[in-house]
Amino acid sequence: MAGSTLEIKDLHVTIEDQEILKGVNLTITGGEFHAVMGPNGTGKSTLASAIMGHPKYEITKGSVLLDGEDVLEMEVDERARAGLFLGMQYPSEISGVTTSDFLRSSINAHREEGDQISLMKFIKEMDAAMDYLEMDKNMAQRYLNAGFSGGEKKRNEILQLMMIKPAIGILDEIDSGLDIDALKVVSKGINKLRNESFGCLIITHYQRLLEYITPDKVHVMMQGRVVKSGGPELAQRLEAEGYEWIKEELGIENEVVGQKA
Amino acid sequence: MAIDTKLPYEKDYVSSYSERLNEPEWLKSLRFQGLELANTLPMPKPDKTNISKWNFSDFKHEAEGKKIDSLEELPNDIKVLLDLENENKNLIIQRNQSVGYQSLSSSLTEKGVIFTDIFSAIREHSNLVQRYFMKDAVSIDENRLTALHTALMNGGVFVYVPKNVVIEDPLQAIFWQEDLEVASFNHVIVVAEENSSLTYVENYVSNNKTENAVANIVTEVIAHDNAKVSFGAVDNFGAGTTVYVNRRGVAYRDATIDWALGQMNDGNTVSENITHLIGDNSISHAKTVTVGRGDQTQNFTAKIVHFGQNSEGYILQHGVMKDSASSVFNGIGKIEHGATKSNAEQESRVLMLSENARGDANPVLLIDEDDVTAGHAASVGRVDPLQIFYLMSRGISRFEAERLIIHGFLAPVVNEIPIKAVKEQLTEVIEGKVL
């Protein structure tokens, strides 16, 4: 199989009775990298969190299908085991649980009970991935994200992505708070996964990341919807001209969710 | 007051008990004194917990236990406490009130180390025991229960490490309350002479559920100049036992006393862990971990009192509460006048797993000196749903995610338990209780 397909259809999401997403449509197939861009407050992160099943968000309408299976009917862990991965903007800190133990539990959760990864193989893979991401090996024995710098947390998300090898990765502002060197390393990690069986949805506020990861498709979100889609050239135009031209083109005065068109 | 003033055992009984054990006169008269004081002194008053209806009088005072010929024959809940692979040479198993098993490596015996049951110690080292028994750490007249403890003391161990002796392997004591109704009036004394160091670990095990019993335990740890004592304990009394346990340390100049206590009782419990930092540069870490469940009520005090200059005290209490269990965690850092440059830090964290559970963290700093540092942190909260979401988003089930978070929460204390087998057993007990 050439990879999985994630279909988001007419997705409506509310948080504390405020509607944030107002009908998002998007389809990602294995082998494709999609970038979702847009100014702050337009629903990008909500989209990422809602797909994964964040407890704060309520889906009021629409569907999310992974290879035809209804994702919204699944528990969060089932979504992960079905092939979804969310690289978070603000990963939780969990004291007392080492990064290495957590990673191993995660990998084993994706495998059958009789087919758990051996400790040797796990350490070998983890070491290789950490080298690739230029991470300090001590991090594996530190408690999960506890006291990590912003950059360390983001690298740790990509480390997990590389080791879990999901069918579809959703990366929520993985570039925020990274200096240029860290950004390059993180991009290198994501690019390494590029192949037919991996699809990626990259949510970003800045064009900067897309200088290192070339998307196949670019989507712009405003007011809780995808308002424009295109190829990589769309990202370049946004970098050069900002978002104003799209707003003018579509007659949008304020792009933030909750504002009238 | 609804306090039961009737004492469960009379002077005639105490007298004959003491005589049967061939006790020296000093101890016999101390027992009588305790009995008398118990008639007049008030009960202890743990902050925010009412113990007036707790059972402190219904118990059996004596029960013998059989000799243990081979450690292999022990029931599983005792065997898991032993590191059978690296056979522990320094081990005492007290079965009810009898010494079931006793061993001390010959190299330690040669160095003058004493590690024996309290009654043998009293017979063989009467002066030494008398020097420390209810003297520097706990006093007979603190309250009715310390007095009653003295009167009815019925077990325990005595540890003595001579000057300059450094013990690498831990000393382990297991107090196995095999009889479901027998009380534990254990008295434990640990004395570390100048420049000595040791690790001592004790386990209390009883399996009574509906049978009433009482534990009234006093532990006294004395660290002389530049000595170091690591004290680990896992208390695991059954639901029917009311527990009053006093663990107290006295640290002299440059001495260190570190506590790692797993407080896993299933019944009502008052636990006091107090360390007096008498000498300059003395240090204590007091780490405790607790799981409350069912409808038990517990009150924990961790207190470090600074007398010496430049003394350092660190309190860390972590508790998990479920069902309708209720616990109070008192953390007290006290710096006396003259204890300049001292540092008193404390942290209390309570994790609530159910709506009906109660947990109170009570941080107190009492400071009577200007040139010091002190700090406290306390929190009572539930499992963070975002942490659960994060772990589940990696494919980990909700059950496993909660398990990881609870273990992680308790890890800072569990990891301090010195004997691997005891640490693993504590992990298992925690698992059995919270999941």
Residues B63-94: pLDDT tens digits? 999 999 999 899 998 998 988 777 678 999 99
- The shortest C-alpha distance from B158 to chain A (Å) reads 35
**CA-only gyration radius of chain B, Å:** 21
Are B372 and B340 within 8 A, CB to CB?
yes
Q: Which residues of chain B are within 8 Å of residue A109 when distances are taken between CB atoms?
A: 394-397, 400
**Model pLDDT, residue B416:** 86
Listed in order, strand segments (DSSP E) in B207-240 are 213-223, 228-236
A68, two tokens: 């035809």
User: A228, A234 in Cβ contact below 8 A?
Assistant: yes
The pair of structure tokens assigned to B356 is 């009906």
Residue B3 has pLDDT above 60, yes or no: no
Residue among B50, B39, B54, B192 at smallest CA distance from B113: B192
Examine the pLDDT at A258 and tell me if it is beyond 80. no
Cα dist from B44 to A201, B141, B142, B148, B251, whole Å: 63, 11, 8, 12, 24
In this prediction, residue A105 carries a pLDDT of: 95
C-alpha to C-alpha distances, A189 to A162, B203, B412, nearest whole angstrom = 7, 50, 33
Q: What is the pLDDT of residue B1?
A: 37
Q: Cα B421 from chain centroid?
A: 18
Q: Tell if the CB–CB gap between A95 and B397 is shorter than 8 Å.
A: no
> For the segment A19-33, what is each residue's pLDDT rounded down to a tens digit?
999 999 999 999 999
Q: Would you say B345 and B317 are in contact if contact means Cβ atoms under 8 Å apart?
A: no
CA distances from B170 to B157, B166, B376, B415, B418 (A): 15, 11, 32, 15, 8
Nearby residues of A244 by Cβ (< 8 Å), 6 or more positions away: none
Write the pLDDT tens digit of every residue in B368-396: 999 999 999 999 999 999 999 999 999 99
Q: SS3 of A197, please?
A: coil
Residue-level pLDDT at A261: 45
Nearest to B387 among A53, A85, A94 (CB): A94
Count CB-CB contacts under 10 A for residue B381.
Answer: 10
Q: What average pLDDT does the structure give for chain B?
A: 94
Of the candidates A77, A65, A66, A62, the one whose C-alpha atom is nearest the C-alpha of residue A11 is A62
Checking if the pLDDT of B231 tops 80, the result is yes
Q: Number of CB pairs < 8 Å for A and B? A: 83
Q: Pick left, alpha or beta for residue A53 (phi over 0 → left; psi -120 to 50 → alpha; otherwise beta).
A: left
pLDDT at B432: 87
| pLDDT per residue as tens digits for the range B238-280 | 999 999 999 999 999 999 999 999 999 999 999 999 999 999 9
CA B46-B51-B57 angle, to 5 degrees, is 125
Residue A256 has pLDDT above 90, yes or no: no
Touching B: A residues 50-69, CB under 8 Å: 52-55
Residue B4, pLDDT > 80, answer no
pLDDT at A128: 97
pLDDT > 50? residue B2: no
Q: pLDDT at position B417, please?
A: 85
Mutate to test the interface with A, among B390, B407, B409, B434 (most CBs of A within 10 A): B390
Average pLDDT over residues B404-423: 88
| Gap between the Cα atoms of B35 and B33, Å rounded | 5
How much of chain B exceeds pLDDT 70, in percent? Answer: 98
Considering only the beta carbons, identify the residue of B397, B400, B405 that sits closest to A94: B405
Q: Judge: A109–B389 Cβ closer than 8 Å, yes or no.
A: no
pLDDT digits (tens, 9 = 90+) for B291-306: 999 999 999 999 999 9
Contacts for A150 with CB less than 8 Å, ≥ 6 apart: A176, A177, A178
- Could you tell me the pLDDT band of residue A205, with boundaries at 50, 70 and 90? confident
pLDDT higher than 80, residue B5 = no
Chain A nearest CA to B353, separation (Å): 17
Taking CA–CA distances from A166, the nearest residue in chain B reads: B394
Question: Which one of A101, A143, A164 has the shortest CB-CB distance to B394?
Answer: A164
Beta bridge partners of B182: B60
Which pLDDT score is estimated for B245?
98
Chain B residue whose CA is closest to A81: B395
Specify the higher pLDDT residue, B338 or B85.
Answer: B338
Quick check: pTM over 0.80?
yes
Predicted local distance difference test score (pLDDT) of residue A2: 67
Instruction: Give the distance from residue A209's alpha carbon to the nearest chain B alpha carbon, in angstroms.
Output: 24
Within 10 angstroms of residue B89's Cβ, the number of other Cβ atoms is: 14
* A positions 145-184 inside 8 Å of B (CB): 160, 164
User: Mean per-residue pLDDT for A33-56?
Assistant: 95
**Interval A228-252: pLDDT, tens:** 999 999 998 998 999 999 999 999 8
Q: How far A78 CA sits from the closest chain B CA (Å)? A: 6
> In sequence order, what are the residues at sequence separation of 6 or more whose Cβ sits closer than 8 angstroms to the Cβ of residue B131?
none
Q: How confident is the model at residue A259 (pLDDT cuts 50, 70, 90)?
A: low
pLDDT digit string, tens, across residues B170-187: 999 999 999 999 999 999
